Amino acid sequence: MAGRWKNDLKWSDVTPKADYLNRRQIMAGAAAAAALAAGPALSGAKIRAVPSAYSTDEAPNSYEDITSYNNFYEFGTSKTDPAKNAHRLTTDPWSVRVDGLVDRPGNYDLADILKGVTLEERIYRLRCVEAWSAVIPWVGFELADLLNRVGVQPSAKYVYFETLVRPSEMIGQKSRVLDWPYREGLRLDEAMHPLTILATGLYGEEMPNQNGAPIRLVVPWKYGFKSIKSIVRISLVEKQPQATWNMQNPREYGFYSNVNPEVDHPRWSQASERRIGGGLFSRRIPTRMFNGYGDQVAGLYAGMDLRKFY
């Protein structure tokens, strides 16, 4: 169609119908080959997702690595606790309360949130503040899609998020290791950025509980703790909201927490990182400014002192 932007093409426009339908068998996008190579059986609940130009071409970590080495303090503080304990979480039914400075506040059923969206595969790097990293083939949609649907009012400046509190199923919440609920926040322009997604799956399948089922945030240029899991509330607010790790230890964890190899954590260097899955001889690789997403996001911070506002 003359004059139509390339970006407006839908997957169904460029893929023969038979292939399109067959994708259920072959899984989403570039991750398929890696998943097959990776071996271990996936859960079986396939989701259709279209490939995205925002994906890295770096090889994803295996499904096994991504689902067995996690941070999810609601299920315990060790890296292997979430995989052991998160199966107890009931993720259906699930609703997300959207409130604050929005035109259409409400308690939205997850199924309704997902009705109008195009799920994409986004293969992103994830850099934890603890200096490990992974490459994860998420399935999700842009947070901006949801925010535009609920109507953000002009006075809103930040977005605040909360994780579920349900100690009967989230056994880590029986301990006061953090002040529950886990909470996070973004500036509105960060939240509206096309790289910022709400993920509902990985490796072309529904989100494993230990990775934040049924819906979690992914902000690839920030330290992993900003990517809050198992979200039940999204609030549009005027003032910079509370964020769990920033509350816990403001000297060590800033509100912005953009990945920055030049600003060390008070207790360790942030200059390099260890890719998970390398076993005993895991390699360290240099950490990149904004986790390698600087071309897309550096402009959000023009004029800010990135050493001060970490």
For tokens 């509350």, the residue is 247
Residue 182 binds which entry of ligand MTE, Mo ion, none, with Cβ cut-offs from 5 to 8 Å by kind? ligand MTE
Residues 283 and 263: beta-carbon distance below 8 Å? no
- Determine if 254 is a binding residue for Mo ion (CB under 5 A): no
Residue 60 binds which entry of Mo ion, ligand MTE, none, with Cβ cut-offs from 5 to 8 Å by kind? none
Query: Binding marks (x or -) toward ligand MTE, 53..72, rule CB under 6 A?
Result: -----------------xxx
Assign 130 to helix, strand or coil: coil
Which amino acid makes up residue 260?
N
Residue 229 binds which entry of ligand MTE, Mo ion, none, with Cβ cut-offs from 5 to 8 Å by kind? ligand MTE
Q: Is 290 left (phi over 0), alpha (psi -120 to 50) or beta?
A: left
Shortest Å distance, C-beta 242 to ligand MTE: 14
Q: Which of 140, 208, 224, 241 binds Mo ion (CB under 5 A)?
A: 224
Tokens read off for 31: 């991750």
- Determine if 273 is a binding residue for ligand MTE (CB under 6 A): no
Q: How far apart are CA 274 and CA 253, in angstroms?
A: 20
Write out the DSSP string of 90-112.
Answer: --SS-EEEEEESBSS-EEEEHHH
Residues 8 and 17: beta-carbon distance below 8 Å? no
- Determine if 219 is a binding residue for ligand MTE (CB under 6 A): no
- Determine if 126 is a binding residue for Mo ion (CB under 5 A): no
Q: Which of 185, 204, 224, 254 binds ligand MTE (CB under 6 A)?
A: 224
Sheet holding 231-237, edge to edge: 106-109, 95-100, 231-237, 158-163, 183-187
Nearer of residues 29 and 220 to ligand MTE, judged by Cβ? 220
- Determine if 141 is a binding residue for ligand MTE (CB under 6 A): no
What is residue 123's DSSP assignment? Answer: E
The stretch near Mo ion (CB under 5 A) out of 37-45, 75-83, 222-230, 279-287 is 222-230
Q: Which of 94, 182, 293, 310 binds ligand MTE (CB under 6 A)?
A: 182
Shortest Å distance, C-beta 158 to ligand MTE: 18
Nearer of residues 70 and 246 to ligand MTE, judged by Cβ? 70
Query: Binding marks (x or -) toward Mo ion, 56..85, rule CB under 5 A?
Result: ---------------x--------------
Our CA angle for 53, 55, 56, nearest 5°, is 125
Give the number of other Cβ atoms within 10 Å of residue 19's Cβ: 11
- Report CA 259 to chain centroid distance, whole Å: 15
Tokens read off for 45: 């609940």
In the complex, the residues that contact ligand MTE under the rule CB under 6 A are 70-74, 126, 128, 163, 182, 211-212, 224-225, 227-230
In the complex, the residues that contact Mo ion under the rule CB under 5 A are 71, 128, 224-225
